Amino acid sequence: MDAETSSTVRNVLFIMADQLRWDYLSCNGHPHLETPNIDALAARGVNFSKAFVQGPVCGASRMSTYTGRYVSSHGSFWNFVPLSIGVKTLGDHVRPHGVRCAVVGKTHVEADVEGAARVGLDISEGPGLLAMEGGFEPFARDDGTWPPGFKVQGNQYCDWLRSLGYESDNPWHDYANSARGANGEILSGWHLRWAEHPAAIREEHSETPYTTDRAIDFMREAGDQPWVLHLSYIKPHWPYVAPAPYNDMYNKEQIVPPVRSAAELQDQHPVLRGFRSYLPSQSFSRDEVREKVVPVYMGLIKQLDDQLGKLFAYLRESGRDQDTLIVFTSDHGDYLGDHWLGEKELFHDTAVHVPMLVVDPREQADATRGTVVDALVEAIDLAPTFLDALGLPAAPQWLEGRSLMPWLHGKPPGQWRQYVVSENSYAFRDDVRLPLNRPVDGCQMTMLRTEDWKYVHYEGLPPQLFDLRQDPQELEDLGRSDGHAAVREQLQGLLFDWFRNRKRLTTMAPQDIEAWNARELEVGINIGLW
């Protein structure tokens, strides 16, 4: 190369929003919600328009993203299921190469305390502590979400709020996620009816600005040491409460109507029937709820966008925008009443399709800036992408995703995946499980989605099938349609292939296997010689 102007990627800023739908960004087509700072990432990088998470709940999805492995392969099937000490994380991949790997915000990693005790691991410090944190140095970890009345101790954010005068056992709940009534009473954010009221906190003290400021603190502190920073916002995840002015920025005229049909409630799949009887689905199926809550959900996203504007300004001022790969994504969507459902947990695109914007500052990526790539992408592709950008080895026995760098550099791979997979279990949802009389280890749900079809396998129950070409809104379930048996069989065959080919042999590298035979003969072990 004649010019050494091309910069190097030394850092990765890995931004995740929680429960942010794919379509609630202006760059992804929302008609009323303007997100110019996030859109700027799409303009400066590549917008992967068909990106899917590997699980439609926080914990399972995040463990996949943090390990580069499908849910079946890391075993942390749902929220609060410990991440086994036997699983290698993103931090484990980068740290030996002198790259810090830290988190500001939420990870939802549950420590495998039992596994650690089994092998006698010291988890109070060093690598043992990191293993309990999913491989992230807990620079300012904060998973939020405490019940009312819970005495929050040892939490940086709550301690900071108290230092500012927000006196409470649980200032997260009582101030940041609640409003005040006419008589000063707490209107809990756990109750959707209070959503439109402003949080009882100054905007700059609410969670999203706090999280942003801590990220800037990290980057300032890090200096010249390379890093991967997982900047992980809890919002727009519930409680759906926003500080002024974001609580009142949008109105019911600006919300998009729910995607649902009366026909969906006829002859329902038994698991969907269960989830529809679950409280969030009941609530979000009511227009009154949507009209109060969705504008606040939009306000929380708007606040996030404004904060990202502040963050990106810092990156430009510090020059970090020139040597930092930036990713913006989400851990899953939010039904918000689509398909007569609330929350997430199932496999409509509403829940599993996420935004994924990637900015590579290097000139090799100039040609693709502002483009949209519609290849099927999975959240497990991020870890290999980070390693590729940093020039670090990506152990193939661990990583089940693929680097997106060829797409960013305008050199699409000749072969790319034909389907994405997402997994969940309703074992933890008594509302769903008990009426179906299923054992907790018989509640697995597995989605396989091609460009044209979506197939969802349920253990012991009929499958679901959607024709995404004819029915992109996924309103007609063809899982029991007589005319689609051949399609279902074909997709089931792909799922069988997928299950068989998971990377279960992780403790030996492929190159070591390849070298095995030569070594065995070399040392003189020559079985069967006459």
Phi, psi of 219 (to 5 degrees): -65, -40
Phi, psi of 321 (to 5 degrees): -65, -15
Could you tell me the two tokens for 271?
């698991």
Could you tell me the two tokens for 444?
């697995």
Residue 300 contacts residue 209 (beta carbons within 8 Å): no
Report the amino acid identity of residue 222. A
CA dihedral 333, 337, 342, 346 (to 10 degrees): -60
* Alpha-carbon distances of 290 from 190, 283, 343, 346, 420, rounded to whole Å: 15, 8, 12, 19, 30
Query: Taking the complex as a whole, how short is the minimal distance between the CB of residue 145 and its own copies, in angstroms?
Result: 7
Query: Taking the complex as a whole, how short is the minimal distance between the CB of residue 400 and its own copies, in angstroms?
Result: 11
Query: Taking the complex as a whole, how short is the minimal distance between the CB of residue 440 and its own copies, in angstroms?
Result: 4
Q: CA 271, 276, 279, 280 torsion: positive or negative?
A: positive
Nearer to its own copies, 120 or 223 (CB): 120
Other CB atoms within 10 A of residue 442 CB: 15
Nearer to its own copies, 212 or 424 (CB): 424
Nearer to its own copies, 214 or 449 (CB): 449
Nearer to its own copies, 370 or 393 (CB): 393
The helix or strand, by DSSP H or E, that contains position 140, with its residue range, turns out to be strand 137-141
Q: CA-CA distance, 511 to 63, in Å (whole number)?
A: 26
Query: Taking the complex as a whole, how short is the minimal distance between the CB of residue 337 and its own copies, in angstroms?
Result: 11
Nearer to its own copies, 126 or 165 (CB): 126
Residue 128 contacts residue 255 (beta carbons within 8 Å): no
* Alpha-carbon distances of 12 from 77, 153, 172, 340, rounded to whole Å: 27, 31, 29, 38
Nearer to its own copies, 262 or 518 (CB): 518
Nearer to its own copies, 367 or 513 (CB): 513
Please count the residues of the chain: 530
The SS3 call for residue 58 is helix
Query: Taking the complex as a whole, how short is the minimal distance between the CB of residue 48 and its own copies, in angstroms?
Result: 26
Query: Taking the complex as a whole, how short is the minimal distance between the CB of residue 473 and its own copies, in angstroms?
Result: 23
Query: Taking the complex as a whole, how short is the minimal distance between the CB of residue 437 and its own copies, in angstroms?
Result: 13
Q: CA-CA distance, 179 to 175, in Å (whole number)?
A: 7
* Angle at CA of residue 503, ends 497 and 505, nearest 5°: 130
Nearer to its own copies, 168 or 397 (CB): 397
Query: In sequence order, what are the residues at sequence separation of 6 or more whose Cβ sits closer than 8 angstroms to the Cβ of residue 108?
Result: 58, 59, 62, 79, 143
The SS3 call for residue 48 is strand
Q: CA-CA distance, 254 to 272, in Å (whole number)?
A: 28
Q: Which of 174, 186, 303, 283 is nearest to 234 (CA)?
A: 303
Query: Taking the complex as a whole, how short is the minimal distance between the CB of residue 414 and its own copies, in angstroms?
Result: 17
Q: CA-CA distance, 458 to 346, in Å (whole number)?
A: 11
Q: CA-CA distance, 229 to 251, in Å (whole number)?
A: 35
Query: Taking the complex as a whole, how short is the minimal distance between the CB of residue 209 and its own copies, in angstroms?
Result: 25
Query: Taking the complex as a whole, how short is the minimal distance between the CB of residue 28 and its own copies, in angstroms?
Result: 25
Q: CA-CA distance, 234 to 488, in Å (whole number)?
A: 37
Nearer to its own copies, 104 or 445 (CB): 445
Query: Taking the complex as a whole, how short is the minimal distance between the CB of residue 412 and its own copies, in angstroms?
Result: 22
Nearer to its own copies, 367 or 508 (CB): 508
Nearer to its own copies, 221 or 459 (CB): 459
Nearer to its own copies, 93 or 454 (CB): 93
Query: Taking the complex as a whole, how short is the minimal distance between the CB of residue 334 and its own copies, in angstroms?
Result: 11
Could you tell me the two tokens for 83?
């991440």
